[in-house]
Amino acid sequence: MKNIDSRTHVRGESIYLDDIPLVQGTLFGAAFPSPIAHGIIKRLDLSVAEAMPGVVKILTYQDVTGENQIGGIVPDEPLLAEHHVHYVGMPIAFVLAEADDQARAAVKKITVDIDPLPVITDPREAHAKGELIIRPRTHRLGDTSTAWAQCTHISKGRADSNGQEHLYIETQGAYAIPQENNAIKLYSSTQGPTAVQRAVARSSGLAMHQIDVDVTRLGGGFGGKEDQANMWAALCALAAHILRKPVKYSLHRMEDMAMTGKRHPYSSDFKIGLDDELRIIAYEATFYQNAGAAADLSPAVLERTLFHCTNSYFIPNVTATAYSCRTHLPPNTAFRGFGGPQGMFVIEAAIAKAAENLGIDASVIQSRNLNKTGDEFAYGQKAVSEAHACWNKAQELYELSAIRSRIDSFNATNVLYKKGIALMPICFGISFTNTRMNQARALVHVYTDGSVGVSTGAVEMGQGVNTKMLQVAAHEFSVRPERIKLQATSTYRIANTSPSAASATADLNGKAVQMACTEIVNRLKVVAAGEFQVSAEEIILKDEWVYVNGERTDWDWNRLVMEAFTKRVSLSEHAHYATPEIHYDASREKGHPFAYHVYGTAIVEVTIDCLRGTYDMESVKVVHDFGVSMNPLIDRGQIEGGIVQGLGWMTMEEVVYDKAGRLRSNALSTYKVPDIYSVPKEIAIEPLKTEQDNLAIFRSKAVGEPPLMYGIGAYFALRNAIYAFNSTAAIPFDAPMTPEKVLLALYDNSAKEDSVTNEQTESAKHLAANS
Ligand code: MTE
Ligand code: HPA
Ligand code: MOS
Q: Are 380 and 298 found together in one domain?
A: yes
Q: How far is CA 134 from the centre of its chain?
A: 22
The one-character DSSP state at 109 is T
Residue 767 predicted with pLDDT over 60 = no
All residues at 6 or more sequence positions from 11 whose CB lies less than 8 Å from its CB, including other chains: none
Q: Which among 494, 503, 493, 428 has a CA at the least distance from the CA of 461? A: 503
> If DSSP states are collapsed to H, E and C, what string results for 264-325?
CCEEEEEEEEECCCCCEEEEEEEEEEEEECCCCCHHHHHHHHHHCCCCCECCCEEEEEEEEE
Residue 358 lies in a domain: yes
Output 757 or 502, whichever has higher pLDDT: 502
Q: Are 527 and 407 found together in one domain?
A: no
Residue 156 lies in a domain: no
Q: Which of 168, 215, 336, 434 to mutate to test the pocket of ligand 3 (most atoms within 8 A of CB)?
A: 336
Q: Which of 705, 708, 709, 710 to mutate to test the pocket of ligand 1 (most atoms within 8 A of CB)?
A: 705
Question: What would the mean pLDDT of 199-222 be, rounded to a whole number?
Answer: 98
Mean pLDDT lowest among 273-287, 552-566, 611-625, 740-754? 740-754
Residue 109 lies in a domain: yes
List, edge to edge, every strand of the sheet that includes 452-456: 484-486, 452-456, 439-446, 572-578
According to the model, what pLDDT value does residue 763 have?
A: 53
Task: Assign 771 a pLDDT band (cuts: 50, 70, 90).
Answer: very low
**Where residue 14 sits, what CATH number does that domain have?**
3.90.1170.50
Q: Are 631 and 746 found together in one domain?
A: yes
Q: Cβ–Cβ contacts within 10 Å for residue 22, how many? A: 11
Q: What is the pLDDT of residues 84-124, one digit of tens each?
A: 999 999 999 999 999 999 999 999 999 999 999 999 999 99
Which residue among 510, 543, 578 closes a domain? Answer: 578
All residues at 6 or more sequence positions from 225 whose CB lies less than 8 Å from its CB, including other chains: 168, 172, 189, 190, 191, 192, 218, 461
User: Which amino acid is residue 121, in one-letter code?
Assistant: T
Question: What would the mean pLDDT of 195-214 be, rounded to a whole number?
Answer: 98
Q: Cβ–Cβ contacts within 10 Å for residue 663, how many? A: 23
Q: At 87, which helix (H) or strand (E)?
A: none
Residue 589 predicted with pLDDT over 70 = yes
Note the ligand closest to the C-alpha atom of 594.
Answer: 2
Strand partners for 623 = 601, 686
Q: At 682, which helix (H) or strand (E)?
A: strand 682-689
Whether residue 679 contacts residue 576, with contact meaning beta carbons closer than 8 Å, is answered with no
**Cis peptide upstream of residue 736 (ω within 30 degrees of 0):** yes
Q: Whose CA is nearest to atom 2 of ligand 2?
A: 502
Note the ligand closest to the C-alpha atom of 189.
Answer: 1
Q: Cβ–Cβ contacts within 10 Å for residue 678, how many? A: 16
From CA 465, how far away is CA 472, in angstroms rounded? 11
From CA 618, how far away is CA 178, in angstroms rounded? 54
Ligand 2 touching residue 300 (CB < 6 A): yes
Residue 208 lies in a domain: yes
CA of 337 to the centre of ligand 1 (A): 10
**Average pLDDT value over all residues in the chain:** 96
Ligand 2 touching residue 702 (CB < 6 A): no
Note the ligand closest to the C-alpha atom of 461.
Answer: 1
Greatest CA span in the chain, whole angstroms? Answer: 95
130 sits in the region (left: phi over 0; alpha: psi -120 to 50; else beta) called left
From CA 758, how far away is CA 557, in angstroms rounded? 79
Ligand 2 touching residue 338 (CB < 6 A): yes
User: What are the φ/ψ torsions at residue 281 (nearest 5 degrees)?
Assistant: -95, -35
Q: Are 427 and 498 found together in one domain?
A: no
Which residue among 532, 549, 578 closes a domain? Answer: 578
For the chain, the domain total comes to: 3
Q: Are 376 and 444 found together in one domain?
A: no
Percent of the chain with pLDDT over 90: 96
Whether residue 325 contacts residue 123, with contact meaning beta carbons closer than 8 Å, is answered with yes
Measured CA to CA in angstroms, residue 120 lies from 84, 292, 662 at distances of: 15, 9, 12
Three-state DSSP class for 67?
coil
Q: What is the pTM of this model?
A: 0.96
The one-character DSSP state at 172 is P
Strand 211-215 and strand 489-490: pairing? antiparallel
Q: Cβ–Cβ contacts within 10 Å for residue 545, how many? A: 16
Whether residue 615 contacts residue 721, with contact meaning beta carbons closer than 8 Å, is answered with yes
Ligand 2 touching residue 249 (CB < 6 A): no
For residue 324, what are the domain limits? Answer: 266-432+589-761
Q: Are 97 and 202 found together in one domain?
A: yes
Q: What is the pLDDT of residues 308-331, one digit of tens each?
A: 999 999 999 999 999 999 999 999
CA of 338 to the centre of ligand 2 (A): 7
From CA 467, how far away is CA 465, in angstroms rounded? 5
Whether residue 238 contacts residue 65, with contact meaning beta carbons closer than 8 Å, is answered with yes
Which residue among 259, 281, 315 closes a domain? Answer: 259
Q: Are 270 and 253 found together in one domain?
A: no
Provide residues with CB under 6 Å of ligand 1: 220-223, 336, 461-463, 465, 500-506, 638, 641, 702, 704-705
Q: Are 238 and 207 found together in one domain?
A: yes
Residue 123 lies in a domain: no
Residue 425 lies in a domain: yes
Q: Are 525 and 640 found together in one domain?
A: no
From CA 449, how far away is CA 597, in angstroms rounded? 42
Q: What is the pLDDT of residues 366-416, one digit of tens each?
A: 999 999 999 999 999 999 999 999 999 999 999 999 999 999 999 999 999
Taking each helix axis as running N to C, give the angle between helix 632-651 and helix 712-725, from 0 to 180 degrees, rounded to the nearest 10.
Answer: 50
Residue 134 lies in a domain: no
Q: Cβ–Cβ contacts within 10 Å for residue 315, how many? A: 27
Q: Are 324 and 407 found together in one domain?
A: yes
SS3 content of the chain, % helix, strand, coil (to 5): 35, 25, 40
From CA 710, how far away is CA 248, in angstroms rounded? 39
Q: Is 450 exposed, middle or buried (0-12, 13-18, 19+ CB in 10 A)?
A: middle
Ligand 2 touching residue 508 (CB < 6 A): no
Q: Are 365 and 413 found together in one domain?
A: yes
**Where residue 465 sits, what CATH number does that domain have?**
3.30.365.10
From CA 658, how far away is CA 397, in angstroms rounded? 47
Three-state DSSP class for 699?
helix
Just list the catalytic residues. Answer: 705
Residue 151 lies in a domain: no
Q: Are 29 and 90 found together in one domain?
A: yes
All residues at 6 or more sequence positions from 63 whose CB lies less than 8 Å from its CB, including other chains: 238, 242
Q: Which among 155, 537, 132 has a CA at the least distance from the CA of 346? A: 155
From CA 68, how far away is CA 133, in angstroms rounded? 19
Q: Cβ–Cβ contacts within 10 Å for residue 712, how many? A: 30
Q: Whose CA is nearest to atom 7 of ligand 2?
A: 432
From CA 313, how far away is CA 368, in angstroms rounded? 9
